[in-house]
């Protein structure tokens, strides 16, 4: 008789296991909302005991904060792909605005709404949300400053334009939970027209910069 060889089980390193837990929690936060992420849920998704999750994240607040930061960081990387780095600022901004308005980022909008609401009651999450907001402001401001240097954008307040764009994005994102989706022609191009007006660009410049 021949015996069936046993499958070799590879033990994950502590860093690999922590990363796996964090990515699973981040995915669940995007799909279901931060308040529904529990150690039991993450453990069930991974097929492990809840004690393993609490070993790496002793408190649920630790897990929620790191999961939010992980999800937002991964989505931000998708908004600013490395392949865009060599493009002119106008094309980079146009592509960024198109991504913000894309269906694939609807869950991200919901997550931001969710995190900002929960941060009223969770001081540690409030700090993480504030830190992630600052990173986003810095990245958008830097892009606008690039456009000013190349002469493509006309403004003497890059940070102010950044704030106008992010407030517009947040305002549009406020409808993310509507079912059916709330739509109106006035909203379709609002982000692009706001950016074009603030940067002294002709109508349609950013809408068509893909």
**CATH number of the domain to which 68 belongs:** 1.10.357.10
Number of compact structural domains in the chain: 2
Would residue 3 count as lying in a domain? no
**Domain match, 105 and 189 both:** yes
Would residue 103 count as lying in a domain? yes
Each of the 210 residues of the chain gets a pLDDT tens digit; together they read: 455 555 445 677 889 899 999 999 999 998 888 889 999 999 999 999 999 999 999 999 999 999 999 989 988 888 888 889 899 999 999 999 998 887 777 888 888 889 999 999 899 999 999 999 999 999 999 999 999 999 999 999 999 999 999 999 988 877 766 667 777 788 888 999 999 999 999 999 999 987
Q: Domain boundary at 49, 79, 109, which?
A: 79
Q: The domain containing residue 47 runs over which residues?
A: 8-79
**Domain match, 104 and 44 both:** no
Q: What pTM was computed for the model? A: 0.85
Helices (H), the chain: 14-32, 39-46, 50-56, 60-79, 89-100, 106-118, 123-150, 158-173, 185-188, 190-199
Would residue 2 count as lying in a domain? no
**Domain match, 125 and 189 both:** yes
Q: How far is Cα 153 from Cα 201, in angstroms, rounded to an integer?
A: 7
């Amino acid at each position: 008789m021949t015996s069936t060889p046993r499958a070799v089980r590879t033990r994950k390193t502590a860093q690999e296991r922590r990363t796996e837990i964090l990515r699973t929690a981040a995915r669940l936060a995007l799909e279901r909302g931060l308040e529904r992420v529990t150690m039991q849920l993450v453990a069930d998704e991974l097929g492990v005991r809840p004690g393993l999750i609490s070993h790496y994240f002793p408190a649920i607040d630790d897990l929620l904060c790191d999961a939010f930061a992980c999800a937002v960081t991964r989505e931000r990387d998708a908004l600013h792909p490395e392949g865009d780095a060599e493009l002119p600022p106008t094309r980079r901004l146009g592509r960024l605005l198109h991504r913000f308005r894309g269906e694939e980022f609807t869950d991200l909008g919901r997550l931001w709404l969710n995190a900002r609401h929960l941060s009223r009651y969770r001081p540690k999450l409030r700090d993480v949300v504030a830190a992630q907001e600052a990173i986003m402001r810095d990245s958008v401001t830097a892009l606008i400053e690039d456009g000013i240097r190349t002469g493509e954008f006309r403004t003497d307040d890059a940070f102010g334009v950044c704030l106008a764009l992010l407030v517009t994005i947040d305002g549009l994102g406020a409808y993310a939970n509507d079912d059916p989706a709330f739509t109106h022609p006035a909203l379709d191009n609002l982000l692009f027209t706001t950016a074009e007006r603030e940067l002294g660009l002709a109508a349609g410049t950013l809408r068509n910069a893909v």
